[in-house]
Amino acid sequence: MSDTFRLTLAQLNPTMGDLEGNAAQARAAWTTAKTAGADMIALPEMFLTGYQPQDLVRKPAFAAHARAVLDTLVADCSEGPALAIGLAAWPEGEEKPFNSYVVARAGKIVAEIHKHHLPNYKVFDEKRYFASGDISGPFTIGPVRIGTPICEDAWYDDVTETLAETGAEILLVPNGSPYFRGKQDVRYSLMVARTVETRLPLIYLNMVGGQDDQIFDGASFVLNPGGQLTHHLPSFESSVVHIDFDATPDGWRARDGNKAPQPDGPGADYAAMVVALRDYMVKAGFDRAVLGLSGGVDSAIVAAIATDALGPENVHCVMLPSEYTSEHSLEDARGVADRLGCRLDILPISGPRAAVTEALEPLFEGTTPDLTEENIQSRLRGLLLMALSNKFGAMLLTTGNKSEVAVGYSTIYGDMAGGYNPVKDLYKTDLFEVCRWRNANTMDWFKGPAGEVMPERVIDKPPSAELRDDQKDEDSLPPYPVLDDILKRLIDVEQSVAEIVASGHDRDVVKHIEKLIYLSEYKRFQSAPGARLSQRAFWLDRRYPIVNQWRDPS
């Protein structure tokens, strides 16, 4: 019996529904593992199918296709290390498919584990899609008995304790665990608890990449009993790593290995947004982006994200000035585009606006200018940007931050027009911090330039939509530090109005913000998807009725 065991971890980026492409990635990683003399290679939860598949997984034809691709992959990987990979499996006679993890060796499936605990909160709705499997026992590969709790199964002690009691010597946890701010600390604490309870080493293997609003950040790690960290794979990057285990008198132990630095705070949020945009576009078949660059901070950071995701040659910035656009804004837009190396075109809206004003004049006779005329400017910009998107095949990016999205400080069919919004889940005050981080930092996989990518004035000047003379956001909204604190309490923490007032906020202001949030639900329902950075992102995390007359009476 060998006293060593080599396990290859493949922290890779699948594409939803690209069964053959995902299998090709797995096959290439398996070949790498074979060359390295590995005993086994492991890929993440649901890697073959992609995650989360939502109702796609309820199509029997999809599950049957996945099984056929799996059978071919197992046959191709018959002479070498064992292969472990996740997929949706739908056995004949079952009402629903399972979230399954299959282990194959020598051309045969030797174990098939079905996920037991199905998460059904926040972005997860697995009880809708999957059947719950029974708790499985460990399987044997070479000298080692391995227990595999699938993702959520390791968040509870019953599955891991059962595996330990039935002879598991190593715990392998395949995951499709999406990013949110602070998620890594949650993972650590839970997985350390499992190693303390079972006295077994644990491998936490997570997928990487973006899928719609969700970002899988990788950051896989290996723990020896007691929570001793031996390996940490990079965040937001694909990685194939070989982990060596030794048999000791106290059981199997992982040898110490590389621990990649992990981003946190604004840097982690920024990297997540870059990955989210890159994968949303590439997996949807786009390689170029277009956006309106106003000279303000929101469009500046979106331009930076797009440049880091796609490269400056694939980002087209357009400035659409009106008579209310300041010279500073024109200068700042140019400053951002020059620093990033992106193309910038100036496309005034004065002509189209005059034509629309003339067309509407007979019907608007006797009225005074108001928000309607301001919104016409925004909608003209959306129309022109969408024309460029259609003509040149570039995805239009929208740039509204979470503070604006929350209170409806945006124009539907205007500045909300677009295919993706990288900053949709980033409050304005947090956005400022992300901008300052990007001006001072970069990562080696970013495609944009290092150094300051936006002038300091863009970050420091008072925010304005510039739709009328001397307009400032604070004309209509509380200062952003006040607004964001109220929004975070109402949305992220779900505090009552009374609790927020007790924290020091004016009740009339809180009630006004509450009203704006509820009244803007219809806008968010029609808005572009965007990167999820928190546990209360608008879409799957927070699902509210569009028509709703309830208001907090406290």
444-466 per-position pLDDT tens digit? 999 999 999 999 999 998 877 66
Confidence of residue 324 (pLDDT cuts 50, 70, 90): confident
pLDDT reported for residue 471: 65
- Arithmetic mean of pLDDT, 137-142: 96
Give the DSSP letter string of 327-380: HHHHHHHHHHHHHHT-EEEE---HHHHHHHHHHHHHHHTT----HHHHHHHHHH
pLDDT reported for residue 1: 64
* CATH 3.60.110.10-classified regions of the chain: 4-262
Enumerate the known binding-site residues. Answer: 121, 177, 183, 292-299, 375, 399, 404, 523
* CATH 3.40.50.620-classified regions of the chain: 266-525
Give the number of C-alpha atoms closer than 13 A to the C-alpha of residue 125, restricted to the C-beta side.
Answer: 14
- Arithmetic mean of pLDDT, 378-389: 96
pLDDT reported for residue 466: 60
Sheet strand arrangement including 202-206: 139-141, 144-147, 170-175, 202-206, 221-224, 228-232
Enumerate the known binding-site residues for deamido-NAD(+). Answer: 375, 404, 523
Report domain 266-525's class: alpha beta
Enumerate the known binding-site residues for ATP. Answer: 292-299, 399
pLDDT reported for residue 465: 65
- Arithmetic mean of pLDDT, 152-170: 96
Enumerate the known binding-site residues for L-glutamine. Answer: 121, 177, 183
**Taking all residues of the chain, what is their mean pLDDT, rounded to a whole number?**
95
Pick the most confident of 1-5, 44-48, 58-62, 122-126: 44-48
The C-alpha atoms of residue 257 and residue 241 are separated, in whole angstroms, by 10
Tell me whether strands 343-346 and 315-319 are parallel, antiparallel or unpaired.
parallel
The C-alpha atoms of residue 541 and residue 212 are separated, in whole angstroms, by 13
- Which residues does the annotation mark as catalytic? 45, 115, 151
CATH, domain range 4-262: 3.60.110.10
- Arithmetic mean of pLDDT, 507-512: 96
pLDDT reported for residue 128: 95
In sequence order, the β-bridge partners of residue 378 are none
26-40, 242-256, 367-381, 482-496, range with the lowest pLDDT: 367-381
Give tens-digit pLDDT for 385-439.
999 999 999 999 999 999 999 999 999 999 999 999 999 999 999 999 999 999 9
pLDDT reported for residue 467: 64
Q: Return contacts of 322-326, CB within 8 angstroms, 24+ apart.
A: 322/348, 322/349, 322/350, 322/353, 322/377, 322/466, 322/467, 323/350, 324/377, 324/466, 324/467, 324/468, 324/469, 324/471, 325/295, 325/466, 326/295, 326/466
User: Residue for token digits 């239009």?
Assistant: 396
